[in-house]
Amino acid sequence: MEGQILQLSISKGGVPKLPVLSGEVGPVGIVGDVQQNTKYHGGPRQALLWITAEGLEELKAEGFPVYPGALGENVTTTGINRRTVRLGQQWRMGEVIVEVTKMREPCYKLDPYGPGIQKAVFDTQVKSGDFTSSRWGLAGFYLAIVKLGLFAPGDPVTLLTDVA
């Protein structure tokens, strides 16, 4: 599987995150990105949040005014089917290698994008790890950093290791 980075985004805390031209990735994410509530966000197992552009398009078709960075993701990709991403997979994004560690559970910070967005992107199936949910990956995937490095929009995104 291969796609590419469409946008990298950071913020001084909260959403939306704003585009940057490139990113240096340290152990807990893109240098310069800040999480306000570190009880629920950030740290080594949630260093980056990844959402697909195709998933954002699905949400736009449902009437939610979302765009790359709107949902707080650091990495927006194109060309990857979110329904094929699994916990435990490792991906190369530019020089960076990441591991998918956790599904993102949305909170009230997404309310500005419309009533019901949390239910549109997350359900009990996703919470239980059931990738057959139609909502799988719409809220995003948390990533741990396996290999530090640089990445930028246009860089390839490639599946390195799959899970059984």
Residue 133, CB-side half-sphere exposure with 13 Å CA sphere: 21
Spatial CB neighbours of 28, under 8 Å, sequence gap ≥ 6: 42, 43, 44, 47, 145
Domain range summary for the chain, segments of one domain joined by +: 2-161
Angle at 75 between CA 40 and CA 15, to 5 degrees: 50
pLDDT of residue 70: 97
pLDDT of residue 149: 98
DSSP, res 135: T
Nearest to 103 by CA among 34, 50, 25: 50
pLDDT of residue 127: 95
Instruction: For domain 2-161, say whether CATH 2.40.33.20 is its number.
Output: yes
164 SS3 class: coil
Nearest to 158 by CA among 112, 90, 100, 102: 90
pLDDT of residue 48: 97
Residue-level pLDDT, tens digit, the chain, 164 residues:
799 999 999 999 889 999 999 999 999 999 999 987 767 778 899 999 999 999 999 999 999 999 999 999 999 999 999 999 999 999 999 999 999 999 999 988 899 999 999 999 999 999 999 999 999 999 999 999 999 999 999 999 999 998 86
